[in-house]
Structure 1
Amino acid sequence: MNLMSTAARRSFARRHRLVLLLAVLLPGLAQADAVTDWNTTAWQAATAAGAPPIQTRVNAITHLAIHDALNSIEPRYEPYAGTHPAVRGASPEAAVATAAYMTLSITVPSQAAALETTYDTYLAGLSCPAAYPSCVSDGIAVGAAAAEAILALRANDGAATPHAPYAAPLLPGVYQPTPPNFAAPLFGNWGKVKPFALGRVTQFGAGPSPLMNLRSGTYRRDYQEVMAVGSAAVRGAPQNVDSYESRAARYWAGGGANANAIAQQVVAGRGLDLWQHARLFALMNMAQADASFGLFEGKYRYLFWRPVTAIQAAGNAQWLPYLVTPPYPDYASGLSGLTASAMEVLRRLLGTDALPYTLSAAGIERHFDTLSQAEHEAAMSRVYAGIHFRTACMDGLKQGNKIGNYVVRHYLRPRRR
């Protein structure tokens, strides 16, 4: 299926000719690393596509196109959607830029104009050696082919209708819309989207859990914990607002879980080349997308209530969580699972858990010595925020780790020499 209209193709061709002219007039402004440059552009553009689940799909499509474009020019790793004809000397940078630009323009159409400016400026900074005078044009061709292939593959994957009407009985343990706005639940169909890597969306799914038995010790412990540590009255009190727990809750909810930003910090200075960066970002974003599908399938299969509903139903009508509860069921935690899937990919590819990084979010700078430390804090931050039971967070973490491990073991593997 060809997702580009004839008009879009003509427009792309006109810009292509203009960019090639600018490249002749303004040579030599090459960027340091095309993959990390366009990774930043991708995750920033993806925020305009919608909530984090939507963003994971956008980022996966973009980085798989980048990976396949590079491995069409020089086949080092297995492709995802296939390889494409590449002329000798084709510019890898032009291929990366085109693959990213084309996929993002289709998946985040609201950003198409800004992306066009970024793309044109980027290509204008490239130049060709005398031996390959058409290198930019040749790179554009292979990048476009890679983008069209992955877009066609994902054209009817179920993502077009992410939400579904919600109705559930008013029973103990069953999810209901939460204060303060009691917004309609979102992403009821997200668990039906076709996975990128998993054989089925329920593969590695969490649960069922003792948490869902309201008479179990697990439920009683989790209930008492989140009521005590996740209360808005406790966390927001002047003496607690700068506590470790309050800062962790705000940090991870406010951007600390940006896996692409984390990965850029982790890989900086490690000497990875374009192909290695492309593979890493493709695998990581593919794992996050599949984790999002799997986690939402579980959320709407178990329909387990959120702490605020449980606590208010027990008679504490004034209790509110420190942060606003997202509009979907509790089990298992999305942020925990998404973070864990990304951390597992980084661990597997780089061969160690000891990958220190420092990242600022929500006005807070945090340093982590290991990825395990970071993913555990990410999971517990949702308890401190008052929006998840501990078991939902830890089971989400385990589910994410399993998905990340599977993706690395089965996709984009090194080619045999």
Structure 2
Amino acid sequence: MRKSLALAAIPALIVSAVAGTPAVAETQQAPVDVALEWYDVTAATITAAGAPTQVTNNRTWAIGWLAAARALTGTPNSDAAFGDAALSGAIHETLVTLIPARKPELDQSLAATLARIPDGTAETAGVAAGRREARTVLAARTGDGLDPASVNAPFTPPSADPGIWRPTPPTFSPATQYGNRLAKPFVLQRPDQFRLAPPPKLGSPRYNRDLAEVKADGAANSTTRTQTQTDTATFWLGSSYVLYTAPLRVAVDEAARRPLSERAKLVALFHVASVDTQIATSDTKYAYLRWRPVTAIQAAGTADWSPLHNTPAHPDYPSGHNTYSGAAEQVLTTLVGARTAKPYTIGSPSAPGATRTYSNWRQLTLENVDARVWSGIHTRTADTAGVTLGRQVAAYALQNADRLFR
């Protein structure tokens, strides 16, 4: 389901960069913004033929835009021809290598970009620099354990003891994302570097409060959840990667007056942090193996209880949606500021036709925390701990960013 939603949704998600106006409002006279042009090419390419695993798609973004940022590092701001050629060359080389099925479309996109650049040394050198950096990064990431088969490496629960994760209804699917904790991070020294403290003990006051909240507000037939809360849960149900593609594009657009190298670094660091956060998330999830609310509630005597939305096939603590939102908020706030210059509007693949308008990044995080409780698939502790973990990983990635661009 998530794969099909992701492959259908990205273009529709970028509803507007300013409420009431198109996200890309070019005139024939306006110069093409190469950063946004290749942002959209990357998104469209992954939408059409990307991997079925979220972290693999984040990895593709991270490699392409990291290569572009490296090729641009030290380039004079006035050398637009070199910069545009280097960025497009780096991302083209990455995407053609990782998603070869889209080569005809990618070749066409590259040709369109290069047709606007005057022929000469700057153009030739820029493309060569971009391709060279892409090949270097691709080589360094070979065998990093972020391919779909490695991400979903087999995992067998060690026991059926209370508190231990087990497959959940209605499909009782095998565990997913176990292999993330075995993958090679971009910046983290090791996957467990920011491992969270253990979740609340079974039967503790906090555990009981968490479970009571999910049981009441996250039930499929809840009488306490409002329609607004149901709408929020449904809006944020889909892939975090898909849902955050639009906000990141807004940030890249708002940074239009900054050097192209800084904008490339923004995209690269966002996805580097996303990858490392997902690695750290799976490390904590599979270190503690906390069972999901549906399992806990049914085991406590309410055998017919079911959540509003089906439960993903991996442990509860922490929430992956919220580690992603915490990392995203940290990167965007640090690099472009807490608030946007103008409101922006996004849509959701899991709520067709619905849109929401924001003027900051924090509200997205807050809604993600509530949404997973109201969906009945996470405890609030798993959500808030997830935000903390995402912020910690992203802050570390930003603090050590210079290592990526040497």
TM-score by length of 2: 0.83
Residue pair 1:312, 1:319 contacting (<8 A) in 2 also: yes
Return the letter of the residue paired with 1:57. Answer: R
Q: Distance in 1 between matches of 2:105 and 2:297?
A: 46
1:291 is displaced (CA, Å) by 0.3
**3-state SS of 2:301 partner:** coil
Residue pair 1:90, 1:138 contacting (<8 A) in 2 also: no
Q: Which residue of 2 aligns with 1:16?
A: none
Residue pair 1:73, 1:90 contacting (<8 A) in 2 also: no
1:255 is displaced (CA, Å) by 5.8
Q: Does 1:184 align with 2:188?
A: no
Q: Distance in 2 between matches of 1:267 and 1:50?
A: 26
1:256 is displaced (CA, Å) by 6.8
Q: Which residue of 2 aligns with 1:91?
A: 82
Q: Find 1:248's aligned residue among 228, 232, 251.
A: 232
1:336 is displaced (CA, Å) by 0.5
Q: Distance in 2 between matches of 1:122 and 1:268?
A: 18
Q: Find 2:126's aligned residue among 139, 143, 149.
A: 139
Taking structure 1 as reference, are residues 170 and 385 closer, same or farther at Cα in structure 2, changes over 3 Å only?
same
Q: Find 2:99's aligned residue among 108, 120, 133.
A: 108
Residue pair 1:90, 1:137 contacting (<8 A) in 2 also: no
Residue pair 1:126, 1:136 contacting (<8 A) in 2 also: no
Larger radius of gyration: 1
Q: Distance in 2 between matches of 1:72 and 1:344?
A: 26
Q: Does 1:233 align with 2:221?
A: yes
Q: Distance in 2 between matches of 1:75 and 1:399?
A: 36
Return the letter of the residue paired with 1:216. Answer: S
Stretch of structure 1 that moved more, 268-277 or 184-193 = 268-277
Residue pair 1:248, 1:381 contacting (<8 A) in 2 also: yes
Taking structure 1 as reference, are residues 301 and 113 closer, same or farther at Cα in structure 2, changes over 3 Å only?
farther
CA deviations on 1:68-100 (whole Å, 9 max, x unpaired) are 121164499xxxxxxxxxxx8852212111211
**3-state SS of 1:268 partner:** helix
Q: Find 2:379's aligned residue among 389, 394, 401.
A: 389
Q: Which residue of 1 aligns with 2:275?
A: 289
Q: Percent identity?
A: 33
Residue pair 1:256, 1:359 contacting (<8 A) in 2 also: no
**3-state SS of 1:359 partner:** strand
Return the letter of the residue paired with 2:184. Answer: K
Q: Which has the higher contact order (CA 8 A, sep 6+)?
A: 2
Q: Which residue of 1 aligns with 2:204?
A: 216
Q: Which residue of 1 aligns with 2:246?
A: 261
**3-state SS of 2:221 partner:** helix
Q: Which residue of 2 aligns with 1:44?
A: 44
Q: Distance in 2 between matches of 1:316 and 1:109?
A: 50
1:234 is displaced (CA, Å) by 2.6
Q: Which residue of 1 aligns with 2:197?
A: 207
1:412 is displaced (CA, Å) by 3.7
Q: Which residue of 2 aligns with 1:347?
A: 333
**3-state SS of 2:237 partner:** helix
CA deviations on 1:274-303 (whole Å, 9 max, x unpaired) are 122111111111111110110011111111
Q: Distance in 1 between matches of 2:100 and 2:308?
A: 35
CA deviations on 1:5-51 (whole Å, 9 max, x unpaired) are xxxxxxxxxxxxxxxxxxxxxxx999622222222222333342123
CA deviations on 1:308-340 (whole Å, 9 max, x unpaired) are 111222222222211121111111111101111
Q: Distance in 2 between matches of 1:325 and 1:196?
A: 29
Unaligned residue ranges in structure 2 (runs of 5+):
1-27
Return the letter of the residue paired with 1:167. Answer: T
Residue pair 1:188, 1:296 contacting (<8 A) in 2 also: yes
Residue pair 1:349, 1:408 contacting (<8 A) in 2 also: no
TM-score by length of 1: 0.81
